[in-house]
Structure 1
């Protein structure tokens, strides 16, 4: 039985669907919209992975291509994104097979970040991601990232 709440009050719809599930009242569930929302949750995890990788790659590029402007803020951002990505992968291990594609997609976002925030332009940056998987997640890369 589809609920008009899905269109008029999404929060109330989620509460209603949750209660129906808890009660085992499967015949009154809004299956069509439940399926759509569950699929959407999975897509959100992939999007979060891409977004965090884009920020990480963007800050690594800024670190490499503007050594004279390196800042504590960039260092902290690199560290934070690495930690959050690893946590996301720990909580969602089925995202690991998607990681190579996510890195390739995120590289474009990383370049956009660099071009938006620095005097550099796309022609100043490599065509594809210059960082290996190992480098992206190595807390000691680049070697000058962590102050002595």
Structure 2
């Protein structure tokens, strides 16, 4: 018979209880197995955040490059915001920098999907690996003078 634990019943309450135990130095009372799982999950979440933001950024860079006639102010600000957030995320998590090239590859796949969802473009007709350098992705000026 499996017992339901606080972790299973009320995750927030479980987190607060674990904090109290840590602060009180009651390390023997900690739910070590679930703490390990949650800390690992937090690390995966940081990588996922980077990939997702890159997907949005790369999708908009593809749209910008391949649909110049449809450029909009909204695209400019999405590109700007994603660049800022990715820079901030990497500054707060510098150990993700070695993962950046892999994250760009995965993010590019997401970007192709975004293009397929939001435009008449066929993602199969676009480059299947990221055509943008890191400088293009993070620094290339976006023409603020929209057509």
Q: TM-score, normalised by structure 1?
A: 0.93
> What pairs up with 1:63-74 in 2 under 5 angstroms?
63-74=64-75
Q: TM-score, normalised by structure 2?
A: 0.94
Gaps of 5+ in 1: none
- Give 1:144 shift: 4.7
- Give 1:107 shift: 0.4
Distance in 1 between residues matched to 2:142 and 2:43, nearest whole Å: 36
Cα gap change, 1:96/1:123 in structure 2, threshold over 3 Å: closer, same or farther?
Answer: same
Give the SS at the match of 1:16: helix
> What pairs up with 1:61-100 in 2 under 5 angstroms?
61-100=62-101
> What pairs up with 1:40-119 in 2 under 5 angstroms?
40-119=41-120
Distance in 1 between residues matched to 2:26 and 2:46, nearest whole Å: 29
Aligned residues: 144
Aligned to 2:143: 145
Contact between 2:54 and 2:86, CA under 8 Å: does it hold in 1? yes
- Give 1:124 shift: 2.2
Contact between 2:18 and 2:30, CA under 8 Å: does it hold in 1? yes
Distance in 2 between residues matched to 1:70 and 1:147, nearest whole Å: 10
Give the SS at the match of 1:127: coil
1:30 aligns with 2:31: yes
The CA RMSD over aligned residues, in Å, is 1.6
- Give 1:145 shift: 2.5
Which runs of structure 1 show a deviation greater than 4 angstroms over 4 or more consecutive aligned residues? none
